[in-house]
Structure 1
Amino acid sequence: MKKILYIAEAFDGGVLSFLQELTNNLVDQYEITILYGRRQTSLEQRQTTFDPRIQLIEIKSFQRALNLNADYQTYQELKKYLRQIDPDVIHLNSSKAGYLGRLLPYRKDQKVFYNPHGYSFLMQGNTHHQEKIYYLAEKTLGYRTKVQTVAVGQGEYLQSKKVTNNSILVNNGIDLQAIDQIAVNTEISEKAVVTVGRIDVQKNPRLFNQLAQLYPEKEFVWLGDGPLKDQLTAPNVRISDWLAHEQIIAILKKVQTFVLLSKWEGLPLALLEAMYCGNYCIVTNVIGNKELIRDNETGAVINDLTQLLEAFKCPRAKRQRLMTNAQREVEKDYNLHKMVQRYCQIYG
């Protein structure tokens, strides 16, 4: 049985969901190990559901921020496990794993892949100097031809072509059959406005809170937790903490409005799930969001608070048309079965 080694510092949010879905569907065919870093939210809170045959190994020095001492220690640990496990395939996930992982010494016969899950040089809030450093790092490492970049969506694929000549597209996918089997069993009102994710800068909790303040009669629910939850101060905002995936789906199947106000994305799984569950989706105009939600076709794409408020005025009949279009698009192009098949092909 072939061995796959996954490496992920960002073992949270969409990256964690992506790895759970992918590895649980590959574990019958491959021997799988995941080296991961732990962010502020513990895995116990996230109620992870990895198959028990998957080996999870925490790299305690793994961290998101640049830290030469910690990064050197992480690199040495990764190199040690690479020798011990001796995998046939190495799959790097997100920026820090991509930076350090592409420096590792690989055998000629090992296949190596890198998923950016949203390039760091596209993150809003970076200074121009930071953007330039991240871009140059991606471009320098991107031309190490041993490592093939795998973009999770068309927008990310187009960005990958700027920093490497060795990239392919494999759309993210969700398990449609599993979603169909989940019962709607939740106390949350169907009129609630919902978002999903880690409460941090990327997901823009300040704008979510501002929106809630302007609609005091509505209930706003954030499914998740994170370091910036103190920004959600509106009395009509409810924070659920981390829930099991089945609980999140049950809520998405009941409510009618989903917002994703991200400052950057790869290809968000939570948005795919909301689309398939029949939500009217309002998203910010960033890569990942805007390739799934096309304004006035599958939902609403907004640039600022004014447009966000306009999106909430969408007539019921038009909402229904957009919701139906979005659901059909997920069924056609973004199902887990297709995604797993494609990864099997590239792994070999």
Structure 2
Amino acid sequence: MKIVQIVTKLDTVGGAQSHVLALTKQLCLDGHEVIIMTSQGQLIEEAMAGKSVKIIQLRHLRRDISLMDDYRAFLELRLYLQQIGPELVALHSSKAGVLGRLAAFSLKIPTVFTAHGWAFTEGVQPLKKLLYKQIEKLLAPRTTKIIAVSNYDHELAVQKRVVSKNKITTIHNGIQSNDKQPYFRNNVPKIVMVSRFEKPKRQDLLIEVLSTMKELEWSLELIGDGVELANVKELVNNKGLSHRVRFLGVRNDIETQLQDADIFVLLSNFEGLPLSILEAMRAGLPVIASDVGGIEELVVEGKTGYLVDQNVLNIRKCLVRMIEDRPLRIELGQAGRNFFEDHFLFQKMYDNTVSLYKEALKEKKVKRNVQLLDHNRA
């Protein structure tokens, strides 16, 4: 297959970006031709590693809404798609998903849109939620197939009457396995959070919780970068936690960092199916995470970790329990590792995705043949 993958940004590490790169790498290894389109910026290191993959950086594609830039980005996408002539366009993230589908639809190219968490999910600002719900309703009939990365997102789209049941399929995220095991050798339990520093990710909430636990021994490592980094650093200083919190920035050794940790925490306002939790489960770490989106499909309450709301006292209770009980951490972490191995391996996700790509192509050919028959009868 000749496939164009379109993602809004490829200059930061996130779930959609990691998904696109892993999927593209395997598609190329299996003999498919893949071109990635994304916005301009310094590409993350992994994106440059696959020399067989052509990456086109679009001048006008932006994450923020701008009618003039968005129209120019649509024209730019359409022009490139005309020149490339792909059999299929696969789209990821909200802005790329909107403009890319419109451009591909105008050229009658089959599309598969992967929703890495809907922009109209619970926790999103009301006006943004309403806007994207209406946009997705308009785009769904113009999309060949839609992938939800969690059952939660699948049901949400159907219940809100955004997408018909026969158009959307759940394909859980998956990552490669490894044979590494956590060290669990820290005398002082090490908590880790891997996430972009943006408001929905709530590093600030974790700092607030930990500021009430100064009597306990713990350390925290925050991995990632983003617009809220300076604000979180200031909060850490104001809470008197600078000696216990380390900011590691963007890392290319996430596996090693997780292997050397004891507890993984993610307190987002909303999520799809976070790859960071899968990485933590693969590393054998117990997880404390917000009960939002598809997270309950990853974290088995009381078996592999704890699901929490955003109440400081409730989060504190779970953290204290894990910090004080090393055997519990090991037990929950091992159960999480087993659950990951049973349900969330990359190969399963990849096979299901390629199968859906082929279904989208087949569906387009069937429609074309029907149109030709109708034309001949006329």
| TM-score, scaled relative to structure 2 | 0.83
Larger radius of gyration: 2
Could you tell me which amino acid in structure 1 is paired with residue 340 of structure 2? V
Measured against aligned partners, the alpha-carbon deviations of 1:76-132 in whole angstroms (never above 9, x if no partner) come to 110011101110110010111111122124488743100111111126351x23321
Q: Which amino acid aligns with 1:284?
A: S
Counterpart Cα distance in 2 of 1:183 and 1:333 = 18
Deviations 1:169-196 (A, max 9, x none): 11110100xx32x6989x9987211011
Match of 1:335 among 317, 333, 345: 345
**What is the deviation of 1:206?**
1.3
Q: CA deviation at 1:223?
A: 1.1
In structure 2, distance between residues paired with 1:23 and 1:153: 21
One of 251, 257, 262 as aligned partner of 1:251: 257
In structure 1, the residue matched to 2:121 is: 122
How far apart are 1:346 and its partner, in Å?
1.7
Are the structure 2 counterparts of residues 313 and 218 from structure 1 closer, same or farther at C-alpha, using a change threshold of 3 Å? closer
In the TM superposition, residue 137 of structure 1 has moved relative to its aligned partner by 1.2
Q: Which secondary structure does the structure 1 equivalent of 2:103 belong to?
A: coil
Go from structure 1 to structure 2 and tell me whether the alpha carbon gap of 1:47 and 1:183 turns closer, same or farther (over 3 Å shift): farther
Question: 1:242 corresponds to which residue?
Answer: 250
Q: Does the 8 Å CA contact 2:89/2:104 hold for their aligned counterparts?
A: no
Query: Who is 2:100 aligned against?
Result: 101
Instruction: Report the AA paired with residue 258 of structure 2.
Output: L
**Does the CA-based 8 Å contact 1:7-1:34 persist in structure 2?**
yes
Q: Once the 2 structures are TM-superposed, how far is the Cα of residue 8 of structure 1 from its aligned partner?
A: 0.7
**Secondary structure in 2 matching 1:124:** coil
Which position in structure 2 is the counterpart of 1:85?
A: 84
Residue 134 of structure 1, aligned match among 132, 135, 151: 132
Partner of residue 154, structure 1 = 151
In 1, Cα distance between the equivalents of 2:85 and 2:188?
Answer: 50
1:47–1:243 CA contact under 8 A, matched in 2: no
The 1:50/1:124 distance shift into structure 2, 3 A limit, reads: farther
Given that residues 124 and 270 in structure 2 are in contact (C-alpha distance below 8 angstroms), is that contact kept between their aligned partners in structure 1? no
Of Structure 1 and Structure 2, the greater helix share is in 2
Q: In the alignment, what sits opposite 2:267?
A: 261
Query: What do the CA deviations read for 1:56-83 (whole angstroms, capped 9, x no partner)?
Result: 1111321122110110111011001110
Uncovered stretches (5+) of structure 2, i.e. residues with no partner: 237-241, 359-378
Amino acid at match of 2:211: Q
* Alpha-carbon separation, structure 2, partners of 1:123 and 1:155: 11
Cα separation, 2, equivalents of 1:330 and 1:154: 16
RMSD: 2.4
Q: With structure 1 as the length reference, what TM-score do the two structures score?
A: 0.90
- Aligned partner of 1:279 in structure 2 is 285
Amino acid at match of 1:138: E
Matching residue's letter, 2:314: Q
Check conservation: 1:283, 1:301, Cα contact below 8 A: yes
Call closer, same or farther: CA 1:190–1:184 in 2, change over 3 Å. Answer: farther
Q: Does 1:293 align with 2:299?
A: yes
3-state secondary structure, aligned to 2:134: helix
1:188–1:30 CA distance, 2 compared to 1 (3 A):
farther
Q: Is the 8 A contact 1:282 1:301 kept in 2?
A: yes
Q: Is 1:346 paired with 2:343? A: no
- 2:61–2:69 Cα contact (<8 Å) kept: yes
